[in-house]
Homo-oligomer: A and B are copies of this chain.
Amino acid sequence: MCEANAYLIDDGEKKLIMEAVDTVEPEGDGIRLISIFGDQKFLKANIHSLSLVDHKIFLKKQDG
């Protein structure tokens, strides 16, 4: 499997938000994360960057 862990960049810190993320898709004014286990989480954030070989997704809070 090729899932990744999602981290939220907040004030320069990287906080683990969800493990084993499969899908990230835009929804309303944010994004929805869905893990390979079917867990879901909605965040007012954007996808900032990816490092897939390290299994990492970085998210950033939307401005304002």
With both beta carbons as reference points, the residue of chain B lying nearest to A23 in the complex is identified as: B51
- For A47, give its contact among B21, B50, B51 (CB under 8 Å): B50
- For A1, give its contact among B22, B25, B46, B53 (CB under 8 Å): B53
Q: Which residues from chain B contact A24 at a C-beta distance below 8 Å?
A: 49-50
Expressed in whole angstroms, the Cα–Cα distance for A3 and B23 within the complex equals: 15
Sample 29 A-B pairs with CB under 8 A, ordered by A number.
A1-B53, A2-B2, A2-B4, A2-B52, A2-B53, A2-B55, A3-B53, A4-B52, A21-B50, A21-B52, A22-B51, A22-B52, A22-B53, A23-B49, A23-B51, A23-B52, A24-B50, A25-B50, A26-B48, A26-B49, A46-B46, A46-B47, A47-B47, A47-B48, A47-B49, A47-B50, A50-B50, A50-B57, A52-B52
